[in-house]
Amino acid sequence: MSITSAKTGSTSLSLALENNFMEPIASTLVGSGGSGAIEFNDIPQTYKHLQIRCISRPNEAGSSGAQYLYLRINTDAGTNYSRHFLAGEGSTPVTQGAASQNEIRAGYQMRNGYAANIYAVAVIDILDYTNTNKYKTTRSLGGFDSNGAGYAALGSGLWMNTNSINSLTFLCEVGNFVQHTRFSLYGIKG
């Protein structure tokens, strides 16, 4: 079905954009001291979905491989999460899944021995985050490239809780976020 604006004739995405469907809620830019966690609290309950857009780099030592970007919801550190990932690393794609985890793996990040100035990126959507009848599902597109190494990944995560989401916490799998890491939170209207 095609939805068309009676006012302008615009359709689909352009129609949504006309109506300011996406609004900035909050943004965090990490300073020179680094940060152990990125937290968004008191998230308004007035949107349909949330989107997080980020660039990030951990200070974990190492110049190969990768670590995960962790996400916890409403400060829940229990084993109430599950996840699936499909990632390409320049050769054979890899996939993984796990149940009863302590967090969602929301992206891949390089270690701090990679070339300077390169940051991992991710766009993470959290769907129907205020609904109190459903568990909450996330999806993500992210990764990094460092001219000879890197990951391009699609992910999905589940928080097995029907509570409305009012806070998000992002963590490095190992270490802290370094300076210039940025996380921005947006609300998407339904």
Partner 1 sequence: MAAKTGTYTLIGSATADGTSLSVTFSSIPATYTDLVIVCAITAGNTGDAYLRFNGDTTSLYSDTVMRGNGSVASSVRDSTVPGIDIGPVSLISGSEIGTVIINVMDYANTTTHKTSLIRFSDATSMVSAIVGLWRSTAAINSILFSSRGGNWGSGSTFKLYGIEAAK
For binding to partner 1 (CB under 8 A), which residues are involved?
13-14, 17, 19-27, 40-44, 46-47, 53-55, 86-93, 115, 117-123, 141-148, 150-154, 180, 182, 184-187
d(CA 66, CA 144) in angstroms, rounded, equals: 9
Identity of the residue numbered 40: F
**Cα within 13 Å of Cα(64), Cβ side:** 0
**Closest of 86, 83, 104 to residue 95, by C-alpha:** 86
For 16, phi then psi, to 5°, come to -60, -40
What is the nearest approach in angstroms of partner 1 to the Cβ of residue 173?
A: 18
What is the nearest approach in angstroms of partner 1 to the Cβ of residue 66?
A: 11
**Cα within 13 Å of Cα(134), Cβ side:** 10
Of the pair 42, 133, the CB lying nearest partner 1 is at 42
Q: Which residues contact 119 (CB under 8 A, 6 or more apart)?
A: 55, 56, 57, 144, 180, 181
Identity of the residue numbered 170: F
Of the pair 142, 175, the CB lying nearest partner 1 is at 142
Of the pair 80, 83, the CB lying nearest partner 1 is at 83
Of the pair 16, 160, the CB lying nearest partner 1 is at 16
What is the nearest approach in angstroms of partner 1 to the Cβ of residue 79?
A: 28
What is the nearest approach in angstroms of partner 1 to the Cβ of residue 164?
A: 14
